[in-house]
Chains A and B, each alone.
Chain A
Amino acid sequence: MLRYVLRRLAWAIPTLIFVTFLVYIALRIGTDPVASYKRINPRATKAKIAQYIEVNGLDPNYVRGYFRWLGNFVTLDWPRSIKGSREVWPQLKDALANTIRLGVAASSVGIVIGLGLGVFAALRPGGRRDVAVNTAAFVGISIPPYVSAILFQLLFAVYWSRWFGSTLFPTSGVYPPGQLGFDLGLMLKHMVLPTFVVAIQIIAVYSRYMRSSLLDVLNSEYMRTARSKGISEARVLFRHGLRNALIPVVTIAALDVGAIVGGLIITENVFSYPGMGKYFLSAFGEGDFPLLMPWMVIIVASTLFFNLLADISYAWLDPRIRLA
């Protein structure tokens, strides 16, 4: 097991480098960093432009340029944004923190409720609860996150205040404008709507996975053996049913993180929540190469990380895989 993990980790570094190289190429072709710089700083001197090119590794030769960029990146010598020469890391750090908070909140709520609903539905397949959960999940999948985000905004911001006079849940930002310092209550209040919107997607997807996986397991022979042992029904369900049903769900879950992040990006934008999503969209819109590359590295690294996590947990949970 340990060897398997180490082997995968060893592969991770070259993969990371290779993928960021591809990203580097895509961004250079797609966003034309030099032209963007010139657009934002129309009065930049030739010297400044040359410095920008060198610091960001924008050599005409892509390979050499990439390694120059990589060198700067790894030594933490990060070039500044094209806008007003602001530092990248403080912005990125805040965006990352906000997104992680939102992601963790939405995932916890979503996964727990989603799995619970899936179990709920699978215990009586074809029954009314099953149909209800399935349909709800279906609708949840079919509504793109920004649609539900907009509808929630409409409901809670516009109409709630029209009917009740004040807004129940704020619909933008992390704090109300002008807030200084840390306030947990206000932060949580601002997080409610975006969390809910992202959680809807998660609940819809996970309830369906869990339901189908649990149904498969409940029809297995070893469930009958478990019952014939005379152990309690609860134990049969948890130790035998759920334990086996979770295996495929966990593997899909780890791979699905990308989709959750995608939903986060969209939701953040609608709610003006200053997270990774907003960071990316504004940086991308401006063609701000120095802002974009570190962001990409984080995304690539976390994607690879979750892929690895998926493989490891699959092997850990299912002993049949371990020896392969």
Chain B
Amino acid sequence: MNRTGVSSDSAPATPSSTETTRRGVATQAWKAFAAEPLAVVGLVIVVLISLTAIFAPWISPADPTAGVGANRLLPPLEGGHLLGTDGQGRDVLTRLMWGARMSLLIGIVPTALAFIISVPLGMIAGYFLGWIGEGIMRLLDVFLAFPMVLLGLAIVSVLGDGMVNVMLAIVIIELPFMARLVYTETSLLRQKPFITAAKVSGSSTTQIMIRDVLPNVMGALIVYSTTIVGGMIVIGAGFSFLGIGIQPPTADWGIMTADGAAVLDTSPHISLLPGIAIIIVALAFAWIGDGLRLAVDPKKRVN
């Protein structure tokens, strides 16, 4: 993950007064998004995998945690198992489906939380600047200066393993990046004439923040959040792989990869398939993010 994905040039769209223009903007944004083939592919993948995750209990062919001892390490297509079985005789396809639940939760829930926290934090720091802004941003910079995986490791090593703690670690990993984005956007916005106009017309600071700053910050933040979901899924799976994240026997793509490592020579599919699933989901979120970047950029939206 690099820090270059921060776009700071989104020109403030004039607040639309009527519902029709607002719908017009949404349609234009959707058209810009739909014009990107990869973005649409990404969206389709994420929708399909989300559906799989939601309906896993009903559509998965077997039990995700209990295996049949006699069916250990079957290669794909054998014994009625489309993608084979693992070392405990569990159906790999089933575990992949259930694993999608974990990966999506680990990717989306912390990102949503970090989103909600970073908006007020970054807006306050960026709008007031001064010692409040400096204080908040310097504090977050410390986290920013720390390698992500290690920061997560440190947090998990103290809090202990388990899904909630991994999510917490990911919120702490993401927050500095997202708050910095909001901060940068806000500090650029506050010098724009329309903010001055709002001040002159007697709007309170809270009104300006919510009505004028917030909508203009959202675009860039939504794009960024979407883009990093994939990276967070990879990191979350990494924690599970190391055995300090989600714990067995839960079906998780990181755990599955680790499970298969010992039998890599005879049954490579156990380790290799979940990794492919991770890459597909991560790519899909990155593509959606790229599409959204075009969709929220008013300069690209003409016609």
Q: Do A and B interact? A: no
Residues of A within 8 A of B (CB): none
